[in-house]
Structure 1
Amino acid sequence: MTGDWSAFGGVVPVLAGSPGAGASVVTAVLADAVQLLAWRVLMVDTADPVRSGLAAAPVSDGPWSAGPHPAVRIRHSWRGSALVARLETTVPVLAPEMVPPPRFWASPVGQPQVTVVDVAADLWRLAANPLDGPGAWLRQGTPCPRPILVVRATRPSLLHAEQVLHRLRVWSAVGLVTMPVALIVVGARRWPPGVVGVAGTHLTPLVDGAVFLPHDKDIAVGGVTGLVTPRRLRDAVLPLLRRWGLAAGVRRLPGVKGALS
């Protein structure tokens, strides 16, 4: 039941370890950083359209393609040179199991080198059965996905994340899903005193190598738009991209303002 990810390049699922952690922001920051490094990027938004944190992310809309059901289809749009794939549906509420499996999200304009996925679902519920819907992006396969867990620098957020990882570990132990390999902390520059101590067995290995995404007041107020994400946020994820061989020798990303074109 492992996946063939060759049509997507390197797959980076982004998971919110707790409610409101900021997974959509991290998805946009990663996609912007990678495309500015001249990699071909596919950004996947699995959220119900009315609840998407990336609804305003595309700069220009493109065509849509059919999904597994007549009421669900995928719109392909552009954010600079990154292709954005997001859901469109005529049903009032889109249940997680109605989200099309990964094969429906493949790029119609050439194979990406990196696919960044906003796994927009309640991760606690998803971890109960992560093999369908948005959880399908966690399937082990070739090349192996690199899931990122997103948290806030708070005790409740880390406690939530620890329980989620405990639930996912059951599926990982039988070779079905890939556990998060990196931790991104949104809205902070360092761990506040007394927070890291609540990390349990599953979260502790990710804590020391955590990447901190500092607070940005414009994104905090306005969310992700068609404007390029701030340079200091993109620079914050560079160590992670270097670790994965996507930014070798790069110290800072190009300064870009306004909409990606």
Structure 2
Amino acid sequence: MIPVLAASPGAGASVVAAALADALAVGARSGLLVDTADRSRSGLNRATRDDGPLVAGPHPTVAIRFSARRGSVVSRVESSSPVLVPGMVPPPEFWRPANWRVDATVVDIGHDVWRVAAHPLIGAGAWLRTGSPSPRPVLVVRPTFPGVVHGEQVLARLEPWVRSGLVTPPTQLVVTGARRWPSAVAAQAGRRMSVLLPGSVFLPRHRQLARTGVTAAVTPAPVRAPLATMLRRWGIPVDRRRSASTRSG
């Protein structure tokens, strides 16, 4: 279970979540991509070509839609309410489609991470709860001074919940739009971010993806490759290949 958090708006959490799901699918693994954001604010709102069926959620104005994406299932929250507050987001047990084997679940924590971190036991933050399977949270940052500052702030905000043993902290940094840390930026990292810097995974900027955002097409191989390496390091083999028709698009 891989919750993906953005240190700040626009950091690229939706791109990372989609690329992780695609790395699983291309490697013949069954992935579930969870989109907890309001459809109008989601970075994954064009991640599928067609909409699948709706299933009622625990709140009367909330449902979950299950759609297909190139070897994965995308589960997204939909609501008839004009505002989707954190408490309305269904807990994890509602997001898995029936009769679908899931090797790994990737969750785009689409709500404002600052608000999620204030009370991570409800809404989208529930994906950070300790338990089984144990989550492997990923924190997505930009390689900039504001990026490392925002990352430090998010980690600090989660720290009391981590100390209490209720949530699992991000242990992996994914840096978007760079191949390495600029030395001057890395030197500004706080004590929490500094611990994570050496194991950072870097996603190079991809011009087309930067222009279009996530679409129903499989994310580009140069973006998937570093994340596939990370998955292998975590013990999730993604070396098998699907057919060419599955990889196309």
Q: TM > 0.5 between the two?
A: yes
2:35 to 45, 62, 80: 45
Counterpart residue type for residue 67 of structure 2: S
- 1:134 corresponds to which residue? 124
Shift of 1:70: 2.1
More helix by share: 2
2:74 to 84, 87, 94: 84
In the superposition, the TM-score normalised over structure 2's length comes to 0.94
Shift of 1:21: 0.5
Give the Cα–Cα distance (whole angstroms) in 2 for the partners of residues 168 and 88 of structure 1. 27
Provide the aligned C-alpha RMSD in A: 1.8
Unaligned runs of 5+ in 2: none
- 1:173 corresponds to which residue? 163
Structure 2 residue 207 is matched with structure 1 residue 211: no
Structure 2 residue 156 is matched with structure 1 residue 158: no
Shift of 1:123: 1.2
Give the Cα–Cα distance (whole angstroms) in 2 for the partners of residues 131 and 225 of structure 1. 31
The answer to whether the 8 Å contact 1:33/1:253 transfers is: no
Give the Cα–Cα distance (whole angstroms) in 2 for the partners of residues 14 and 122 of structure 1. 12
Counterpart residue type for residue 33 of structure 2: M
Shift of 1:205: 1.5
Q: Evaluate the alpha carbon distance shift between residue 52 and residue 123 of structure 1 in structure 2; reply closer, same or farther with a 3 A threshold.
A: same
Q: 1:165-212, CA deviations, whole angstroms, 9 ceiling, x for partnerless residues?
A: 011011011110000121100011111130011211211121101000
Shift of 1:77: 0.3
More strand by share: 1
Q: 1:121-163, CA deviations, whole angstroms, 9 ceiling, x for partnerless residues?
A: 1111211111101000000001210000000000101101101
Give the Cα–Cα distance (whole angstroms) in 1 for the partners of residues 230 and 243 of structure 2. 17
Q: Secondary structure in 1 aligned to 2:56?
A: strand
Shift of 1:79: 0.1
Shift of 1:59: 2.9
Q: Evaluate the alpha carbon distance shift between residue 120 and residue 72 of structure 1 in structure 2; reply closer, same or farther with a 3 A threshold.
A: same
The answer to whether the 8 Å contact 2:7/2:154 transfers is: yes
Percent identity, please.
52
Counterpart residue type for residue 15 of structure 1: L
Q: Please show how residues 64-83 of structure 1 align to structure 2 within 5 Å.
A: 64-83=54-73
Counterpart residue type for residue 104 of structure 1: F
The answer to whether the 8 Å contact 2:27/2:241 transfers is: no
In the superposition, the TM-score normalised over structure 1's length comes to 0.90
- 2:2 corresponds to which residue? 12
1:191 to 173, 181, 185: 181
- 1:109 corresponds to which residue? 99
